[in-house]
Amino acid sequence: MDKQAVTVIGLGPMGQAMVTAFLDNGHPVTVWNRTASRADALVARGAGRAATTTEALTASQLVILSLTDHDAMYAILEPAAAALPGRVVVNLSSDTPERARTAAEWVEQRGARYLTGGVQTPPSGIGSPEFSTLYSGPQEVFEAHRDTLRVLTGTDYRGSDPGLAALYYQLQMDMFWTTMLSYLHALALADANGISAKEFLPYATSTLSSIPSFMEFYAPRIEAGEHPGDVDRLAMGTASVDHVVHTTRDAGIDAALPSAVLEIFRRGMAEGHATDSFTSLVEVFRKAAA
């Protein structure tokens, strides 16, 4: 059976991995990149080079964007908008849910269909079904292209709102960056005390692998709006974070990160949650947003 033709616009590390996966699976691929030389190795492997963005859009019905953000999408598609009618644009570039909704409207107004995607693996995972990419947008459009998109990773369709894939992606980035920053902070603290990254590694992974069981325990309570202090109390957590701040200062390293955490714990205390679980801090976050 003939494989579906695909155009990939954006050849950073992610776009390059995507083109390679499509070529390996026998899909005809057309590529375009602002810096044309980044296409050279892929063209040598069999990809077709589009000289212009209009040519790139015309080459395939399915057009995948792998760009830094949505501003790059407008910069590329605006001058070639006449070639958009009839295309299916799958935007795998990160941005906010609101900007994903605006981009969907912008593309649909110009006669193309639109899916948002959020890739949940580094480029090395492209081509592996054990990783997955979040998608949202019109279900029939997703279903029609699911088999081709599966060449990249497994698929996780979140719903018709084009903002949803971006939202789930940002939820994960919210946790990822905070967690990784806390790892780097602990690493600097370990290092200041003569403990190497290698020595610290099993302790770091042990702490992080205990987190899922905490989340599974607390999630139903949080969902029910209950924060009983039967297992932990915010006052205990506040004292614990205070110890981290002091251990950090004693080591002579930057204490901005644990100090910010301490400030949030203290807000919870000031709002009367001392004898509740630390999960009551979710109410502090909700209040700040209101």
Cβ nearer to ligand NDP, comparing 75 with 180 = 75
Closest approach, Cβ 77 to ligand NDP, in A, equals 10
What lies within 8 Å, CB to CB, of 216 at 6+ separation is none
Q: Point out which residues bind ligand NDP (CB under 6 A).
A: 10-15, 33-35, 38, 66-68, 72, 75-76, 92-94, 119, 122-123
> Residue 209 CB, nearest distance to ligand NDP (Å)?
22
* Closer Cβ to ligand NDP, 94 or 280, answer by number: 94
Nearest to 170 by CA among 67, 99, 97: 97
Residue with smaller CB distance to ligand NDP, 64 or 186:
64
For tokens 């009983």, name the residue: 228
Closer by beta carbon to ligand NDP, 10 or else 258: 10
Q: Report the nearest approach of ligand NDP to the CB of residue 18 (Å).
A: 9
Q: Shortest Cβ distance from residue 58 to ligand NDP (Å)?
A: 18
Least Å distance, CB 20 to ligand NDP, is 13
| Contacts within 8 Å (CB) and 24+ apart, 270-276 | 273/227, 273/234, 274/233, 274/234, 274/235, 274/238, 275/229, 275/233, 275/234, 275/235, 276/227, 276/228, 276/229, 276/233, 276/234
Q: Which residue is nearest to ligand NDP (CB)?
A: 12
Strands 153-159 and 6-9: unpaired
